[in-house]
Amino acid sequence: MSRAYSDLAFTPTVRAMQTRMGSRSAYEALDHTDDRRDTLTARESEFIHARDGFYQATVGETGWPYVQFRGGPAGFLKVLDAKTLGYADFRGNVQYISVGNLQGNDRVSIILMDYAHQRRLKILGRVKLVTADEDPALLERLALPEYEARVERAMLITVEAYDWNCPKHITPRFTEAEVNEAVAPLRDELRKARRALARHSGAMPVEPPELQLGKGPLALRISGVRQLTPRVRAYELRSLDGAELPAVQAGSHLDMPVRLVNGTLSSRRYSIASNPQRRDAYEIAVLRENAGSGGSAAVHDSYQLGMVLHCSLPGNDFALDPDSDAPAVLVAGGIGITPIKAMAQALRSAGRAFELHYAVRSRREGAYLDRLEREFGAQMHSYAADRDARLDPQGLVQAARPGTHFYVCGPQGLVNAVREAARRAGVPAEQVHSEAFQAAPSAAPQRPLSVTLPRRGQRIEVSAGQSILEALEQAGVEVPSGCRGGSCGQCAVKVLEGQPEHRDSVLSEAERTQARRMCICVSRAAGDHLTLDL
Interatomic CA distance for residues 465 and 293, integer angstroms: 9
Interatomic CA distance for residues 462 and 529, integer angstroms: 10
Is 423 in the same domain as 489?
no
* Helix, strand, coil content of the chain in percent (nearest 5): 30, 30, 40
Residue 486 Ramachandran class (φ > 0 left, ψ -120 to 50 alpha, else beta): left
Interatomic CA distance for residues 444 and 99, integer angstroms: 60
Q: Put the strands of the sheet holding 252-259 in their side by side order.
A: 265-271, 252-259, 315-316
Q: What is the reported pLDDT for 418?
A: 96
Interatomic CA distance for residues 123 and 106, integer angstroms: 14
3-class DSSP state of 472: helix
Q: What is the reported pLDDT for 188?
A: 77
- Does the structure show a pLDDT above 50 at 207? no
DSSP string for residues in 425-457: TT--GGGEEEEESSPPP--S----EEEEETTTT
3-class DSSP state of 147: coil
CA distances from 30 to 2, 17, 81, 83 (A): 6, 16, 25, 21
Instruction: Determine which of 10-19, 248-257, 288-297 has the lowest per-residue pLDDT on average.
Output: 288-297
Is 219 in the same domain as 287?
yes
Contact indicator for 88, 143 with CB cutoff of 8 Å? yes
Interatomic CA distance for residues 213 and 399, integer angstroms: 47
Top-confidence residue, 508 or 276: 276
3-class DSSP state of 166: coil
- Does the structure show a pLDDT above 90 at 518? yes
For residue 137, tell me if it sits in a domain: yes
For residue 487, tell me if it sits in a domain: yes
Q: What is the reported pLDDT for 202?
A: 59
Q: How far is CA 353 from the centre of its chain?
A: 25
3-class DSSP state of 164: strand
For residue 178, tell me if it sits in a domain: no
Top-confidence residue, 445 or 493: 493
Is 50 in the same domain as 139?
yes
Is 48 in the same domain as 159?
yes
DSSP string for residues in 363-399: GGG-TTHHHHHHHHGGGEEEEEGGGT----HHHHHHH
Helix/strand/coil (H/E/C) assignment for every residue in 248-267: CCCCEEEEEEEECCCCCEEE
- Give tens-digit pLDDT for 173-183: 887 777 877 78
Instruction: Determine which of 224-228, 339-343, 353-357, 432-436 has the lowest per-residue pLDDT on average.
Output: 432-436
User: What is the rounded average pLDDT of the residues 25-36?
Assistant: 87
For residue 113, tell me if it sits in a domain: yes
Residue 88's DSSP bridge partners are 154
Main-chain dihedrals φ then ψ at residue 262, nearest 5 degrees: -85, 5
Of 212, 206, 192, 180, nearest in space to 307 by CA? 212
Q: Which domain holds residue 161?
A: 37-165
Single out the residue in 401, 436, 471 at which a domain terminates: 436
For residue 194, tell me if it sits in a domain: no
Contact indicator for 321, 407 with CB cutoff of 8 Å? no
Is 141 in the same domain as 220?
no
DSSP 174: -
Is 302 in the same domain as 343?
no
CATH of the domain at 353: 3.40.50.80
Main-chain dihedrals φ then ψ at residue 83, nearest 5 degrees: -120, 0
Main-chain dihedrals φ then ψ at residue 164, nearest 5 degrees: -90, 130
CATH of the domain at 260: 2.40.30.10
**If you average pLDDT over each of 224-238, 256-270, 320-334, which comes out highest?**
224-238
For residue 179, tell me if it sits in a domain: no
Q: What is the reported pLDDT for 479?
A: 83
Is 493 in the same domain as 386?
no
Single out the residue in 406, 436, 466 at which a domain terminates: 436
Confidence of residue 146 (pLDDT cuts 50, 70, 90): low
User: What is the rounded average pLDDT of the residues 82-89?
Assistant: 94
For residue 206, tell me if it sits in a domain: no
User: What is the rounded average pLDDT of the residues 257-283?
Assistant: 89
- Computed over every residue of the chain, the mean pLDDT equals 88
Is 490 in the same domain as 413?
no
Terminal C-alpha separation, the chain: 86
User: What is the rounded average pLDDT of the residues 211-222?
Assistant: 90
For residue 253, tell me if it sits in a domain: yes
- Give tens-digit pLDDT for 227-243: 999 999 999 999 998 89
Q: What is the bridge-based pairing of β-strands 405-410 and 328-333?
A: parallel
CA distances from 512 to 471, 494, 516 (A): 22, 9, 5
Interatomic CA distance for residues 209 and 308, integer angstroms: 10
- Does the structure show a pLDDT above 60 at 218? yes
CATH of the domain at 140: 2.30.110.10
3-class DSSP state of 481: coil
Q: What is the reported pLDDT for 197?
A: 75
- Does the structure show a pLDDT above 60 at 296? yes
Top-confidence residue, 141 or 418: 418
In residues, how long is the chain?
534
Contact indicator for 468, 524 with CB cutoff of 8 Å? yes
Is 333 in the same domain as 417?
yes
Helix/strand/coil (H/E/C) assignment for every residue in 266-319: EEEEEECCCCCCCCCCEEEEEECCCCCCCHHHHHHHHCCCCCEEEECCCEECCC
CA angle 454, 455, 458 (to 5 degrees): 55
Residue 102's DSSP bridge partners are none
Single out the residue in 165, 198, 220 at which a domain terminates: 165
Is 429 in the same domain as 496?
no
Of 123, 54, 53, nearest in space to 82 by CA? 123
Interatomic CA distance for residues 164 and 170, integer angstroms: 13
- Residues 6 or more apart in contact with residue 117 via CB below 8 angstroms: 172
Interatomic CA distance for residues 83 and 349, integer angstroms: 36
Is 76 in the same domain as 97?
yes
Of 319, 371, 310, nearest in space to 346 by CA? 319
Encoded amino acid at 268, one letter: R
- Does the structure show a pLDDT above 60 at 203? no
Confidence of residue 53 (pLDDT cuts 50, 70, 90): very high
| Counted domains in the chain | 4
Is 454 in the same domain as 511?
yes
Q: What is the reported pLDDT for 148?
A: 60
In the chain, the percentage of residues whose pLDDT exceeds 90 is 60
Interatomic CA distance for residues 493 and 76, integer angstroms: 51
Interatomic CA distance for residues 353 and 331, integer angstroms: 14
Interatomic CA distance for residues 484 and 466, integer angstroms: 12
Is the torsion defined by CA of 270, 273, 277, 278 positive or negative? negative
The pTM of the whole model exceeds 0.85 = no
- Does the structure show a pLDDT above 80 at 368? yes
CATH of the domain at 484: 3.10.20.30
- Give tens-digit pLDDT for 429-463: 999 999 876 544 444 557 899 999 998 889 999 99
Helix (H) or strand (E) holding 119: strand 119-130
